[in-house]
Amino acid sequence: METKAISPSAVTTTAHLPQLHLPRNEGMELDLDWVASVQANTSAIERRAATLPGRRSVKKEYQAAWLLKAISLIDLTTLSGDDTEGRVNRLCAKARQPVAPALLSKLGMSGLTVGAVCVYHDMVPAALRALEGTNIPVAAVSTGFPAGLSPYHLRIQEIRESVAAGAKEIDIVISRRHVLTQNWQALYDEMREMREACGDAHVKAILATGELGTLRNVARASLICMMAGADFIKTSTGKEPINATLPVSLTMIRAIRDYETRTGFKIGYKPAGGISKAKDSLVYLSMMKDELGNRWLQPDLFRFGASSLLGDIERQLEHYVTGAYSAQWRHAMG
């Protein structure tokens, strides 16, 4: 079977190339009139989302290129109570070399890495050591992840300690009660203080959308977090019963589009939880391209919060090269 090599220019493999640097979101004063004007037509959003899987179909070398792109956007993650330094070392080795060198060579590619490695605070030093010499940033979940119900001063201190330990990105969880009670001032103040605690580290605000009740709440919470200075907005912790969905994603990325139109700042988006199949990543990539444009197909503005996704993408790439699917055990995380 003849395999057509993928053009390296089709895939950005380094998360922080100089030409990709953007002005960081400075936030703005809380605008409650703007927040109150935000609505979400649930039936229309769901109808639009239902059409997305069938609207774009990429095949052969084009599909392979998109899947390589998806790998460069993955936040490779381990967030388990039984995490060990050995597990983190294996995960980081996978982050540095996410696809077997022989397979990459047949695709005409080299230098491919994931977007980041995401761990609990205690594992930040181990991840930094394992990723030394690369441009792969370490992200730490913080603020009482996943529930976000630890004492507030401890949540702020946890952010500071993760930044001091060397994390370049902080994934924080918002207090869902502020959204459910429509206490937008409290949500804004909380997010603002968390942003300040992050310093130079970029902050991803996890909305836990499966616990917010309505798409209107999702839209308004997205806007508040961006007003308060979030660099990314993220769907879920991955621990809720309902995580990333297409209707939620469509709601959040349209909030990102509105915020950019109003302020000029580009905000990143991270769907997390439940994205485990290569075909799902293609749907999300096409949605980002359609709704926000090609600029949002780079790792400084889009990430997948997933690890099992990588294994399925590897299998699809091997099928492209060999014409046969390999066993899943051949594509372990480490």
The residues annotated with a catalytic role in the active site are 171, 234, 270
Give, in degrees to the nearest 5, the angle at Cα 311 between 64 and 138: 100
Assigned token pair, 176 = 């869902």
Nearest Cα to 61, choosing from 12, 109, 102, 122? 109
Q: Packing angle between helix 184-198 and helix 215-227, nearest 10 degrees? A: 50
Give Cα 129 to chain centroid, integer Å.
Answer: 23
Q: From CA 232, how far away is CA 263, in angstroms rounded?
A: 15
Q: Are 267 and 295 in contact (CB under 8 A)?
A: no
Q: From CA 299, how far away is CA 14, in angstroms rounded?
A: 8
Q: Who's near 207: CB < 8 A, 6+ residues apart?
A: 174, 179, 218, 221, 222, 225, 233, 234, 235, 236, 252
Sign of the C-alpha dihedral, residues 158, 301, 23, 207? negative
Q: Are 256 and 292 in contact (CB under 8 A)?
A: yes
Rg (CA), the chain: 19
Amino acid letter for position 22: L
Q: Who's near 188: CB < 8 A, 6+ residues apart?
A: 30, 224, 227, 228
3-state secondary structure 90-134: HHHHHHHCCCCHHHHHHCCCCCCCCCEEEECHHHHHHHHHHCCCC
Question: What residues does 205 pair with on adjacent strands?
Answer: 172, 233
